[in-house]
Structure 1
Amino acid sequence: MAEITNEIMYELLKRVHADLANLREDNRGLRQDFISLRSHMHVMQGDLNNLHGTMAQVLVRLDRIEDRLELRELAEAQARFEPQP
Structure 2
Amino acid sequence: MTSEPDHLVLVYLRRIDEKVDRLSADMHDLKARVTGVEENLAGVNRRLDRLELRVDRIERRLDLADSHA
TM-score by length of 1: 0.64
Distance 1:32 1:25 in 2: 11
Equivalence for 1:30:
16
Distance 2:43 2:29 in 1: 21
Equivalence for 1:4:
none
Q: Residues 1-85 of structure 1: matches in 2 within 5 Å?
A: 15-70=1-56, 74=65, 77=66
Higher RCO structure, 1 or 2 (CA under 8 Å, sep 6+) = 2
Ranges in structure 2 where 5+ consecutive residues have no aligned partner: none
Ranges in structure 1 where 5+ consecutive residues have no aligned partner: 1-14, 81-85
Total equivalences in the alignment = 63
Cα shift at 1:54: 0.5
Q: Which consecutive segments of 4 or more residues in structure 1 shift more than 3 A?
A: 71-74
